Amino acid sequence: MRVAAAVADLMLFSRIEAAVAAAEASLVRVDSPSELAPNADFDLLLVDWSARRPDWADALRGRTASRVILFGPHTDLEAHAAARAAGLGPMWARSKLVSELPSLVVANRT
């Protein structure tokens, strides 16, 4: 399984990294989805949508990940609305992502 994470928060990334390592999967960290090679294929792409930039929606629409999960603070209503408007939502709360990480990585194992 290949996982990519566009996550600037290193504390959160360490939790993602631990879950991926426990599942014996591979992980790539980037600051922006546009940093991922266009032809790179991932089973799971995690994106901190609260840190989004204007080009992120287009970069994500062109991805060939089996599953893309946007996440951020549950109180960031603007980010939730932007995810839906971009056709990429719904966005998950960070707490949901953290609690679901182990099952996400195992469920997406190939």
3-class DSSP string for 35-103 = HCCCCCCCCEEEEEHHHCCCCHHHHHHCCCCCEEEEEECCCCHHHHHHHHHCCCCCCEEHHHHHHHHHH
pLDDT at 47: 95
How many domains does the structure of the chain reveal? Answer: 1
Pairing mode, if any, of strands 44-48 and 26-30?
A: unpaired
Is the pLDDT reported for residue 98 higher than 90?
yes
Would the pTM count as exceeding 0.95? Answer: no
User: Which CATH number characterizes residue 58's domain?
Assistant: 3.40.50.2300
Mean pLDDT is highest, among 20-29, 35-44, 53-62, 98-107, for 20-29
Domain that holds residue 53: 2-107
Res. 60 pLDDT band, cuts 50 70 90? confident
pLDDT at residue number 65:
66
pLDDT at 18 over 90: yes
Please state, in angstroms and rounded to a whole number, the distance separating the CA atoms of residues 85 and 35.
23
Maximum Cα interatomic distance, the chain, rounded to a whole number of Å: 35
Tokens of 12: 């959160």
